[in-house]
Every structure is written in C-alpha cells, then in structure tokens.
C-alpha cells in the first residue's frame, strides 16, 4: 500500500466513522488525513533547500501550535496527532540536509519529545495520569541515550 492508497483508506474511514465514532475520534482521523496529505505533497514536491535553522524554526512553530491547540480546546489525541504529523515532515526534510550531524538529529528528537511532554502534561485525562511518570521516564531514557 503506497501513501495514496493509505490516504484513500483514511478518507473512507473518516466517512464511515461519521455515524459511529465520537467527535474526538473523528477529529483525530481528520488530523491523520491532513498529515498524509502533507506527506504526499512533500513527496511530490520536496523543497529545493533545507537548513538546520529552518528545521529548528519549524520545530518551534510545531510545539507552539501544539500548545495553542490544547489551550483552544482541541482534543489531546488530535493535537498529538497533528504534532506527530509535523514531526514526521521534519524527519522527511532532515533527509534533504547535506551534512546533518548526529547532535542536530538527536537535538531535534529530544526537543520534540520534551516539548510534547510539557505541552500535554496538564491535559492528560485522570484515567491516564498513572501512566504519565512511566512515559516521562521513557523520554528521559531516550534523552540520555541521545546525549551519549
């Protein structure tokens, strides 16, 4: 299944879910669709030039958008899906960098994970709060690994 087939599948899933899925699930599926559409657009028309500075700025925008979406009432799952889509696009763009250092790549991943954790901390549903320390520990382990 290629990206176009996957996009078509998600489009069908969005249509079928209208009658059955809760609003949060529909909102999240729409974010999945937007992410796939953005990836298809990137693959079809990649930028000619990508710089580390531009990707760092894109990461700042992505994390600011995540925070704003949550403050504005977007569901946590849809906001995380939107941020994950943006992070995947940044990852695709990293492949276009001439000589990306491991430090830069590790820094972007670390920044994304920490920014994500900070943004969602106050929006985690009560029934999921008990898992948050485990996720924090996992992020800390990844960060330590990236530093090494």
pLDDT tens digits, 9-64: 888 887 887 788 888 888 888 899 899 999 999 999 999 889 999 999 999 999 99
pTM, entire model: 0.82
Q: Do 33 and 68 share a domain, yes or no?
A: no
Q: Do 54 and 27 share a domain, yes or no?
A: no
**Number of domains into which the chain is organized:** 2
| Spatial distance between the Cα atoms of 70 and 122, rounded to a whole number of angstroms | 9
Q: Do 57 and 79 share a domain, yes or no?
A: yes
92 versus 1: which is more confidently predicted? 92
Q: Do 26 and 54 share a domain, yes or no?
A: no
Sorted by sequence, the CB contacts under 8 Å of residue 38 that are 6+ apart come out as 85, 89
Q: Do 62 and 123 share a domain, yes or no?
A: yes
| Count of C-beta atoms within a 10 Å radius of residue 51 | 12
Does residue 148 carry a pLDDT above 70? no
Instruction: Give the mean model confidence (pLDDT) for residues 107-134.
Output: 84
pLDDT of amino acid 147: 60
| Spatial distance between the Cα atoms of 25 and 143, rounded to a whole number of angstroms | 31
Tokens of 48: 């000619």
Q: Do 76 and 147 share a domain, yes or no?
A: yes
Q: Do 103 and 117 share a domain, yes or no?
A: yes
């Amino acid at each position: 299944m290629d990206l176009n087939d996957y996009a078509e599948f998600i489009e069908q899933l969005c249509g079928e879910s209208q009658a059955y899925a809760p609003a949060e699930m529909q909102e999240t599926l729409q974010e999945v669709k937007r992410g796939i559409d953005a990836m298809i657009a990137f693959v079809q028309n990649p930028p000619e030039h990508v710089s580390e500075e531009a990707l760092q700025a894109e990461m700042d925008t992505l994390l600011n958008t995540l925070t704003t979406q949550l403050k504005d009432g977007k569901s946590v799952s849809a906001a995380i899906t939107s941020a994950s889509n943006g992070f995947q696009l940044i990852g695709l763009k990293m492949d276009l960098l001439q000589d990306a250092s491991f430090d830069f790549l590790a820094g972007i991943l670390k920044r994304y994970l920490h920014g994500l954790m900070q943004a969602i901390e106050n929006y985690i549903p009560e029934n999921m709060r008990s898992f948050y320390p485990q996720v924090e520990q996992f992020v800390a382990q990844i960060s330590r690994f990236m530093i090494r």
